Amino acid sequence: MKLASVALPTVYLAADLGSSASKVFYRVHPTQAQPLWMGAEVAEGLSRVMLSGLGTGGRPQDNAWLEIGDDVVMVGESAKAILEANSLSANKSEKAVYKLSAALGVVAELEKLPSRYRAVVWLALPLAEVPTRHQITTRLTELCQQGFTCRGRAQQVDVTLKCYPEGFGVYLRRKQQLDDLGQSINHRHTSIVMMGHRNLSTLAFEHGSLNLGGAASDGPGFWPNFEKAARSAGITAPDYPALMRALSSGEPHQISPAKAGLVDFSEAVASVQGLYSQAVMVYLRDNLVKRVVEQSVDVVVSGGASQIIQTQLDDFFADLHCTDRVIFVDGSDDRLTRVVNQLPEVSQNSTLARRMADGYGLFLGLLGSLTTVAV
């Protein structure tokens, strides 16, 4: 008597592997929409001696490591103790395979999956790095086929990977919101502005199709401007987190590790906002204004850095007389907020919904490609 084969469980996963963190959403069970926030650090090429000090306690996403042949790779928070600093100059694609493998391994442990399972992965890439998608796909497929170990658990994954430009998830979410209002995005011109840690990118859509002629990813990133302005204001690296808190919270008085006391960071906040806003406005004038003026364009602004210069952005679009066509992804999306609020990190970082919007839109797009029923 021939036994019926048992279908492998399937992980549906969308990832935005940012320079500051990996933003992930996944589904294993019907109706599930589970967020993951993992550190961006990757320490590769380590020896097995490193394993002696590791334990499987705590949350898997906070303490992830891979064993690939004789090499050990630490991903996220577990890599921080090894790396002196997270390199923001390295392309995401260089470490993307390890980050995706660790995310899959973490999901498998959290969801108690067997050692073999299927995975359908959608990945957001910077526009300039989209040409590397074949390299990422080939390497991830090879690694999943040969098998690897994550946190001591063997993984054998039948994986399918698709890559999309950063900002495409924001576009898909905007499309769904318009669909809910009975409107079609295919009848509109849409520009997506992604203000990220490392760069600013724009995507242009004409009647539902990406127009590569209006796309670019060479805009000013927040972090290089932050570092330059902080140094000019006399702020040293130990106080960078305090300055970041002052910028994101609007409260300039923060505890300074460097000075071991309460410090007013108002001058440094103004310096960062001034330098970053100047760089952004110059770029938008060169790359966005003509399209906005000549056409009736919806502009969707996303990315965690946008709130740092919200006032300056409001003034910029007001001068163009197009504020009624500008949408800020500001965390007011109730559906996204409900999902992201499952993360304990929300209590320490109120900007998570804004920063995870692209990954969430990509996740909904992934699920929508599987069924005609709205998810």
Q: Note whether 72 and 105 are same-domain residues.
A: yes
In a domain, 109, yes or no: yes
What are 290-342's pLDDT values in tens digits? 888 877 899 999 988 898 999 999 999 999 989 999 999 987 788 999 999 99
Residues 35 and 153 in one domain: yes
Q: Is residue 202 assigned to a domain?
A: yes
Residues 119, 39, single domain; the answer is: yes
Q: Is 202 exposed, middle or buried (0-12, 13-18, 19+ CB in 10 A)?
A: buried
Number of domains comprising the chain: 2
Given this model, what pLDDT does residue 89 score? Answer: 40
Q: Are residues 257 and 133 in the same domain?
A: no
Q: What is the pLDDT of residue 304?
A: 83
62 with 206, same domain: the answer is no
Low-confidence ranges of the chain (pLDDT < 50): 1, 85-90, 372-375
pLDDT tens per residue across span 82-91 = 776 444 444 5
> What's the full length of the chain, in residues?
375
CATH number of the domain residue 253 falls in: 3.30.420.40
Query: What is the model's pLDDT at position 85?
Result: 47
Quick one: pLDDT at residue 197?
85
Structural domain of residue 15, as residue ranges?
10-165+357-368
Residue 160 shares a structural domain with residue 15 = yes
Q: Are residues 107 and 21 in the same domain?
A: yes
The residue to which tokens 């499987």 are assigned: 56
Examine the domain organization and report whether 235 and 133 are in the same domain. no
Query: Which residue, 157, 41, 153, 20, is CA-closest to 95?
Result: 41
Residue 157 and residue 78 in one domain: yes
Domain assignment present for residue 188? The answer is: yes
Task: Please give the model's pTM, rounded to 2 decimal places.
Answer: 0.88
Cα 286 off chain centre by: 26
Whether residue 2 is contained in a domain is answered as no
Same domain as 161, residue 14:
yes
| Residue 375: inside a domain | no
The reply to whether 286 falls in a domain is yes
Is residue 85 one of the residues assigned to a domain?
yes
Flag whether 348 is in a domain: no
Query: Do 87 and 126 belong to one domain?
Result: yes
Contact 205, 171 (CB under 8 A): yes
Q: Are residues 209 and 296 in the same domain?
A: yes
